[in-house]
Amino acid sequence: MHVHTDVAVLLVSVFLASSVEMVEALTIVLAAGTARGWRSALEGTALALLTLTALVATLGPAIVHYVPLDTLRIVVGGLLLVFGLQWLRKAVLRAAGLKAKHDEDAIFKRHVEELEAQPRGGARDSLGFVLAFKGVFLEGLEVVVIVITLGSTSNHLGLAALAALAAVLVVAGVGLAVARQLSAVPENAMKMAVGLMLVSFGTFWSGEGVGINWYGSDLAIPALVALYGLTALTLVLILRPSPVDSPSGPDVSVA
Amino acid sequence: MSASPEETVPASSWAGRQLRAFGRFWWDFLVGETPELLVGAVLVVGAVALVHHGGVARSVTEVALPALVITLLALSLIRAKRTGRH
């Protein structure tokens, strides 16, 4: 079966980006369920997922239908450049040891302690519901933006949405299987990969939007991923402090 | 029984709060701690568009765009290391 390179990169990008965000959301849902009861946590999660799906289903086709393709490519390309550079910058700083890494176990522990300190409601606990809803909705909004921008510009909105859905199901399944061992997920490596792909798509589409016809057409995307990957690796090595400069690295982050 | 503070908030204040929250989301999303990336990306795409439509060879713009993006990332990282704002 012939699969276009840009579609394959798009699906991997959406899947990885959604997985990273869903790992962060799952930490919050697990904390809400453990501390406040599973019924409220799962109801909050379900409502957030429904709201996010509705956003993709309404905004995605509207953008594809009403916005001219060149305009869409410049705007989306620019957005992906900014968004991707933010992810890549953080991932490089973390890989270089200049920024604390996310510790999902510490975040989980902190949430549970805060929630258990609050008085409990009945079978339906509003605090657990709201925390699960906000956690999934806010983390999922980034996924919605990625799905709509990548999906609408490449004309594969349905595939992008399916890749995001697959990520939600995989993370939920794995998360429930391993319970609280979310810190084992290589979050920073995944964020680095997503950042590389978003910056590559951003470069490709903003270039096409201003009139550049890339050599090799869609093959320019994996070439850009490779170029930016080498650059990120070089920057990590350059920025990594020597042992003399920094006897103790940054602590883990729960922010 | 007195009403809670949430119940006494007028609808206009509620709408204002939602608008502010919406604006804050997009501000954090696009600007956050790295305004240089937003400004830089706009300048990079704008400069490449000008150069491309100015009749410069295609090979130049194809190399210039990723080169400028790499420069932008490197400058932002150097700024982060110097200022300690990560």
Domain ranges of chain B: 5-83
Residue A25 half-sphere exposure, CB side, CA atoms within 13 Å?
31
The per-residue b/e assignment along B48-76, b for 16 or more CB within 10 angstroms, e otherwise, is: bbebbeeeeeeeebbebbbebbbebbbeb
Residue with the bigger pLDDT between A215 and A244: it is A215
Q: Which of B53, B61, B77 is facing A93, going by the closest CB pair? A: B77
Contact between B33 and A46 (Cβ < 8 Å): no
Per-residue pLDDT tens over the stretch A84-129 = 999 899 999 999 988 877 666 777 777 777 777 777 666 667 888 8
At residue A200, the pLDDT reads 93
Residues of B in contact with A78 (CB under 8 A): 41-42, 45
Name every residue whose Cβ is closer than 8 Å to that of residue B38 and which is 6 or more positions away in sequence. Answer: A82, B30, B31
**Contact B80/A93, CB-based, under 8 Å?**
yes
Residue A244: inside a domain: no
At residue B10, the pLDDT reads 62
Q: How many domains does chain A have?
A: 1
* pLDDT band at residue A1 under the 50/70/90 scheme: very low
Residue A174: inside a domain: yes
Q: Which of B41, B62, B65 is facing A85, going by the closest CB pair? A: B41
Q: Return residues 9-68 of B near A (CB < 8 Å).
A: 25, 29-30, 32, 34, 37-38, 41-42, 44-45, 48-49, 52-53, 58, 61-62, 65-66
The secondary structure of A111-169 as a DSSP string is: HHHHHHTSPP-SSS-HHHHHHHHHHHHHHHHHHHHHHHHHHHHHT-HHHHHHHHHHHHH
Residues of A in contact with B49 (CB under 8 A): 74, 210-211
Number of A to B CB contacts under 8 A, please give it: 93
Mean pLDDT, residues A64-69: 78
* pLDDT band at residue A147 under the 50/70/90 scheme: confident
* pLDDT surpassing 60 at residue A33: yes
Residues of B in contact with A223 (CB under 8 A): none
State the maximum Cα–Cα separation within chain A, in Å, rounded to a whole number. 63
Expressed as residue numbers, the domain containing A42 is 5-119+126-239
Percent of chain A with pLDDT over 70: 87
Residue A252: inside a domain: no
Q: Which of A89, A215, A224 is facing B76, going by the closest CB pair? A: A89
ipTM above 0.85 for this complex: no
At residue A58, the pLDDT reads 87
In whole angstroms, give the CA distance from residue A31 to residue A164. 23
* pLDDT surpassing 50 at residue A255: no
Residue A201: inside a domain: yes
Q: In order along chain B (86 residues), what is the average pLDDT of each group of 10 residues?
A: 49 77 79 90 93 83 94 94 76
* pLDDT band at residue A224 under the 50/70/90 scheme: very high
Residue A248: inside a domain: no
3-state secondary structure of B81: helix
Residue A249: inside a domain: no
At residue A185, the pLDDT reads 63
